[in-house]
């Protein structure tokens, strides 16, 4: 049976998060004293239905990457398998080109292009158009790196579906680097 719950992304509404992942309520509340207000049934019925995780990050003074990463890990989805046969290792995820489960892939080298999307994501934007443009410009064997505040799982899935291999290094606090290259 497949999991039909939504991805935990910055634009997920808090109400939807708690409806689909009720076990995450305590994890969310533990991130900021401001989030204790979610226990109030009136606020829960109104604000939580409208506010996104991005918005509550701002209200709670918690970095967006911390909220997304914490909630994904608590839900058991942070290290989800990604790609054609590879599974995520500690701090990494990548497809079948990885040269070992979770290990640095054989195709990894100095990136030809880099996009630091942290400010864009924190400001409410989504880097998908810029990433796809950067990937389309890659020559065979070149590497593109995307820097984000959390593992960009849905974006990685889109890129892999379009023929790119991906590998993510989430070993730096607050800085996740996802590397992409064309599959041969």
In a domain, 21, yes or no: yes
Residues 134 and 176 in one domain: yes
Total domains present in the chain: 2
Residues 68 and 108 in one domain: no
Q: Are 109 and 97 in contact (CB under 8 A)?
A: no
Residues 62 and 144 in one domain: no
Residues 25 and 54 in one domain: yes
In a domain, 169, yes or no: yes
Alpha-carbon separation of residue 171 from 76, 92, 114, 174 (angstroms): 18, 8, 18, 9
In a domain, 40, yes or no: yes
Q: How confident is the model at residue 180 (pLDDT cuts 50, 70, 90)?
A: very high
Picking from 182, 148, 144, the residue whose alpha carbon sits closest to that of residue 163 is: 182
The phi-psi region of residue 163 (left if phi > 0; otherwise alpha if psi is between -120 and 50; otherwise beta) is: left
Residues 127 and 156 in one domain: yes
Q: Which of 31-35, 69-73, 125-129, 132-136 has the highest mean pLDDT?
A: 132-136
Residues 18 and 59 in one domain: yes
pLDDT tens-digit series, residues 121-167: 888 888 999 999 999 999 999 999 999 988 888 899 899 999 999 99
DSSP secondary structure string for all residues of 32-86: -GGGGGGGSHHHHHHHHHH-BHHHHHHHHT--HHHHHHHHHHHHT-TT---SSS-
Residues spanned by the domain of 26: 14-75
Can you read off the two tokens belonging to residue 160? 């892999």
pLDDT(82) > 70:
no
Residues 102 and 63 in one domain: no
Residues 67 and 105 in one domain: no
Strand pairing category for 144-148 and 175-182:
antiparallel
CATH code (residue 171) = 3.30.110.40
In a domain, 168, yes or no: yes
Angle at which helix 128-136 crosses helix 153-161, to 10 degrees, equals 30
Bridge partners for 147 per DSSP: 116, 177
Q: How confident is the model at residue 49 (pLDDT cuts 50, 70, 90)?
A: confident
């Amino acid at each position: 049976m497949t999991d039909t719950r939504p991805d935990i992304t910055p634009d997920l509404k808090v109400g939807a998060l708690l409806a689909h992942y009720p076990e995450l309520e305590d994890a969310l509340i533990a991130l900021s004293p401001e989030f204790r207000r979610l226990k109030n049934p009136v606020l829960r019925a109104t604000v939580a239905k409208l506010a996104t995780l991005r918005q509550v990050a701002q209200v709670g003074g918690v970095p967006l990457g911390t909220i997304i990463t914490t909630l994904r890990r608590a839900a058991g989805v942070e290290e989800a398998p990604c790609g054609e046969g590879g599974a995520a290792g500690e701090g990494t995820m990548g497809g079948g080109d990885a040269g070992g489960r979770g290990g640095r892939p054989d195709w990894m080298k100095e990136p030809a292009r880099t996009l630091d999307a942290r400010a864009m994501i924190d400001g409410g934007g989504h880097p998908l158009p810029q990433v796809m443009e950067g990937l389309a410009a890659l020559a065979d064997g070149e590497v593109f790196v995307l820097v984000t505040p959390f593992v960009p799982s849905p974006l990685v899935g889109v890129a892999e579906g379009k023929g790119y291999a991906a590998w993510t290094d989430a070993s730096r606090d607050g800085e996740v680097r996802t590397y992409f290259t064309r599959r041969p």
